[in-house]
Amino acid sequence: MNSEFPDELRWYCLRAQTKREHIAAAGLAQIEGVEAFCPRIRYQKATRRGKIWWVESLFPGYLLARFVFRSHYREVTHSQGVSTIIHFGDKVPAVSESFVEALKCQIAQQESEADVVTLKQGVSVGDEVELMGDAFRGMQAEVVEVLSGGDRIMVLMDFLGNQNIVEVDLYSLIMKKKPSF
């Protein structure tokens, strides 16, 4: 690597082992003088077993770490879960401090656990959806009402030759993209 690195703290992007970004961040946090940041998202997804919560890295395969390159290069690259520091030839770009701080502020506003943002599925009246529940699997519908509480919606669908309004669970559907012209 290039030996022209300043002796100051900077943020760098690291490549982590797939699905082990949070483990790499925890390992880096144990190193004195290294700050790790691995933002993750938490969302609910409909599966055959019902609604399941998933937690994934916001940037799959990557995380951010703040350290003095010259003094921590070896420790960081050999830390558990870290594959490499992102570089282009012998150039290792630093990540903007303002970008990382803005990202941290956005996450802090969510009032959730550290570095995890919980995503809520949003639908609105008129959205086209595909139902995933057992009885209506694969059927197309249009959202006509979002019920209070936000986990149940009313949809209009063609069923047995008639148009019917049916109440369904928000997490038992897939959003269809509206055509853009």
* Span 17-76, pLDDT tens digits: 988 999 999 999 999 999 999 998 887 776 667 667 788 898 999 999 999 999 999 999
pTM of the model: 0.65
Return residue ranges of the chain for CATH 3.30.70.940: 9-118
Return residue ranges of the chain for CATH 2.30.30.30: 128-175
24 neighbors 36 (Cβ within 8 angstroms):
yes
d(CA 132, CA 169): 10
d(CA 70, CA 81): 21
- How far is CA 117 from each of CA 36, 95, 109, 140, 146, rounded to the nearest angstrom? 17, 21, 9, 30, 23
- 7 — pLDDT class (breaks 50, 70, 90): confident
* Span 110-165, pLDDT tens digits: 655 667 776 666 677 888 888 876 677 788 888 888 877 666 778 888 877 888 88
Select 9-118's CATH number: 3.30.420.10, 3.30.70.1250, 3.30.70.940, 3.40.50.10680: 3.30.70.940
Domain 128-175: assigned CATH number: 2.30.30.30
d(CA 16, CA 22): 9
Q: What is the DSSP secondary structure assignment for residue 88, as one 8-state letter?
A: B
